[in-house]
Amino acid sequence: MSLLEKIERREARVAVVGAGYVGLPLAVEVATAGFPTVAYDKIAGKVARINAGDSYIKDVTSSVLAPLVQSGKLRASADPDILSSADVVVICVPTPLNKSKDPDNSFIIMAADDLLPRMHKDMLIILESTTFPGFTREILAPKLSASGLTVGKDLFLAFSPERVDPGNPKFQTKNTPKVVGGMTPACTEMIRSLYATFLDKLVPVSSTDAAEMVKLLENTFRAVNIGLVNEVAIMCKKLDLDTWEVIDAAATKPFGFMPFYPGPGLGGHCIPIDPHYLSWKLRTLHYNARFIELAGEINSSMPEVVIERVASALNDAERSVKGAKVLILGIAYKRDIDDVRESPALDVIQLLRGRGADVSYHDPGIPQIRLGEDDHGVFPADAPVMKSVPFEKLDGYDAVVIVTDHTSLDYARLVREAKLVVDTRNATRKVRSGAKARIVSL
């Protein structure tokens, strides 16, 4: 039976490599569509929790995961030999930056190394991990071709950029339009055949290079516009203007303007990282991606801007940063999630500690954090641990800094009880009337 026939009959065996924020939701959708699915991950704790029907991803509830596991449609494994029996392998592994801000595709290469000796004829391999334009064609395809299989004939290779937005109540894996691009027309048709069985809308493009560029354009667009509005916030401060008032008024224009909002910096697994993939690629072609570099410079400087706001506000209260008790409110990289990857809150904490402040944090979804991880999320043995403190005794802090505006937090209580609030997200805008706290905006 051909691979296409297996897909049509929903008998194709699918292995998702990497059971994180991208891989697990995808594996759940594949299994829900009726395909026998296995999530392959080298972290034993993830494997155990999946096989117990216990989800560690907020966008996948245990009530959805458990029945799939119990029915046998979905399981997890840390054994690479499960790839031998797969008809489809979807690679969803991290692609961070190294210390010099260059792409680190080592996790993709490790996945390919696991896969190579276990490949067989009539196999579809899909890369979803973000990378630079040309990676699938220039690096992954030649590596997998060492198996002796011919791409487009007995091996089908495609790229489909993940578009996961953790915590988004409207768009999840199933109903977010999915870009797909194959190495050959036959490869594109094969991924279309598979993904059309469980995704609402597909957007085919002409090549894997084009699909890779789509992902980078999406997040570069956001990074550049956020960089612009962050600089506007700096300018408004110097002009003694309310940034939020200016943006809200501009947003009433029904054409030609899309509102973006300033903040303490960029966080997450995409927007702070993806533009650097494009910038790096263009440097290899002797071109300087100036918008990307400038936006990156502005966005990465925002934690320092926050610190200066805090220092200035404390100074007005005749208090120095050194020795001041400061509470960071919210440390996830965006509201209502429990993910701290690349969160600017971590930089704000470190900068305040570096200036001698006594720093605590409160986040309802993150009970503790460790500071000082390296590029691969590994911490030194002596990495300091911080635990979330209760949301109480707010008047005991010299300053409370809102870094992440979780909707569950009681901002009305905050402005009634705190002495000083530095609001980097405009979270207190609806409760400022009658506030006892002095409120300083970004």
CA–CA distance, 212 with 232 (Å, rounded to integer): 31
Torsion of CA 240, 244, 250, 253, to 10 degrees: -160
Same-domain status, 145 and 255: no
Burial (0-12, 13-18, 19+ Cβ within 10 Å), 335: middle
Write the pLDDT tens digit of every residue in 121-139.
999 999 999 999 999 999 9
Pairing of strands 74-77, 37-40: parallel
Same-domain status, 420 and 293: yes
Residue 354 lies inside a defined structural domain of this protein: yes
Residue 373 has pLDDT above 80, yes or no: no
What is the average pLDDT across 88-103? 89
What is the average pLDDT across 279-295? 94
Place of tokens 């979780």: 406
Q: How confident is the model at residue 102 (pLDDT cuts 50, 70, 90)?
A: confident
What is the average pLDDT across 40-49? 97
CA–CA distance, 399 with 161 (Å, rounded to integer): 41
CA–CA distance, 351 with 306 (Å, rounded to integer): 10
Nearest-CA neighbor of 423 among 271, 293, 233? Answer: 233
Q: Which residues contact 281 (CB under 8 A, 6 or more apart)?
A: 132, 133, 134
Q: Which residues contact 54 (CB under 8 A, 6 or more apart)?
A: 62, 65, 66
The phi, psi pair for 385, rounded to 5°, reads: -110, 135
Residue 212 lies inside a defined structural domain of this protein: no
Q: How confident is the model at residue 1 (pLDDT cuts 50, 70, 90)?
A: confident
Residue 371 has pLDDT above 90, yes or no: no
What percent of the chain lies above the pLDDT cut of 70?
98
Q: How confident is the model at residue 81 (pLDDT cuts 50, 70, 90)?
A: very high
What is the average pLDDT across 92-114? 91
Question: How many Cβ atoms are within 10 Å of 100's Cβ, its own excluded?
Answer: 8
**Sign (positive or negative) of CA dihedral 295, 275, 223, 341:** negative
Same-domain status, 355 and 237: yes
Spatial contact of 31 and 218, defined as CB atoms under 8 Å apart: no
Same-domain status, 156 and 279: no
Residue 306 has pLDDT above 80, yes or no: yes
What is the average pLDDT across 205-224? 97
Largest Cα separation within the chain, whole Å, is: 78
Last residue of a domain, one of 148, 173, 206: 206
Nearest-CA neighbor of 261 among 188, 205, 335, 321? Answer: 335
Q: How confident is the model at residue 101 (pLDDT cuts 50, 70, 90)?
A: confident
Same-domain status, 144 and 273: no
**Sign (positive or negative) of CA dihedral 305, 343, 408, 261:** positive
Residue 378 has pLDDT above 60, yes or no: no
Sheet containing 358-362: order of strands: 358-362, 325-329, 399-402, 420-423, 438-441
Spatial contact of 161 and 217, defined as CB atoms under 8 Å apart: no
Task: At 372, list the tokens.
Answer: 């000082």
Same-domain status, 338 and 411: yes
Write the pLDDT tens digit of every residue in 184-211.
999 999 999 999 999 999 999 999 999 9
Same-domain status, 168 and 253: no
Q: Which of 92, 187, 236, 270 is flagged as catalytic?
A: 270
Task: At 5, list the tokens.
Answer: 């026939």
Q: How confident is the model at residue 35 (pLDDT cuts 50, 70, 90)?
A: very high
Q: How confident is the model at residue 98 (pLDDT cuts 50, 70, 90)?
A: confident
Same-domain status, 200 and 230: no
Residue 74 has pLDDT above 60, yes or no: yes
Write the pLDDT tens digit of every residue in 379-399.
566 678 899 999 999 999 999
- What is the three-class DSSP state of 284? helix
Residue 260 lies inside a defined structural domain of this protein: yes
Residue 213 lies inside a defined structural domain of this protein: no
pLDDT of 379: 54
Can you give the CATH number for the domain in which 156 is found?
3.40.50.720
Question: How many Cβ atoms are within 10 Å of 141's Cβ, its own excluded?
Answer: 18
SS (H, E, C) 128-167: CCCCCCCHHHHHHHHHHHCCCCCECCCEEEEECCCCCCCC
Number of domains in the chain: 2
Residue 252 lies inside a defined structural domain of this protein: yes
Query: Interior CA angle at 285 toward 281 and 289, to 5°?
Result: 60
Active site residue 270: yes
pLDDT of 375: 43
Same-domain status, 179 and 272: no
Spatial contact of 132 and 126, defined as CB atoms under 8 Å apart: no
Torsion of CA 82, 84, 85, 91, to 10 degrees: 70
Same-domain status, 295 and 425: yes
Last residue of a domain, one of 171, 206, 241: 206
CA–CA distance, 45 with 54 (Å, rounded to integer): 11
Residue 419 lies inside a defined structural domain of this protein: yes
Residue 372 has pLDDT above 80, yes or no: no
CA atoms within 13 A on the CB side of 256: 2
Place of tokens 């402040």: 357
Helix (H) or strand (E) holding 15: strand 14-17
Q: Which range of residues forms the domain containing residue 184?
A: 3-206
Q: How confident is the model at residue 89 (pLDDT cuts 50, 70, 90)?
A: very high
Same-domain status, 168 and 287: no
CA–CA distance, 261 with 269 (Å, rounded to integer): 19
Q: How confident is the model at residue 180 (pLDDT cuts 50, 70, 90)?
A: very high
pLDDT of 21: 93
CA–CA distance, 293 with 224 (Å, rounded to integer): 9
Last residue of a domain, one of 145, 175, 206: 206
Spatial contact of 349 and 361, defined as CB atoms under 8 Å apart: yes
Residue 295 has pLDDT above 70, yes or no: yes
Same-domain status, 81 and 224: no
Residue 376 has pLDDT above 50, yes or no: no
What is the pLDDT of the chain when averaged over all its residues? 94
Residue 211 lies inside a defined structural domain of this protein: no
CA atoms within 13 A on the CB side of 18: 24
Task: At 36, list the tokens.
Answer: 């026998």
Nearest-CA neighbor of 223 among 123, 280, 294? Answer: 294
Write the pLDDT tens digit of every residue in 407-432.
999 999 999 999 999 999 999 999 99
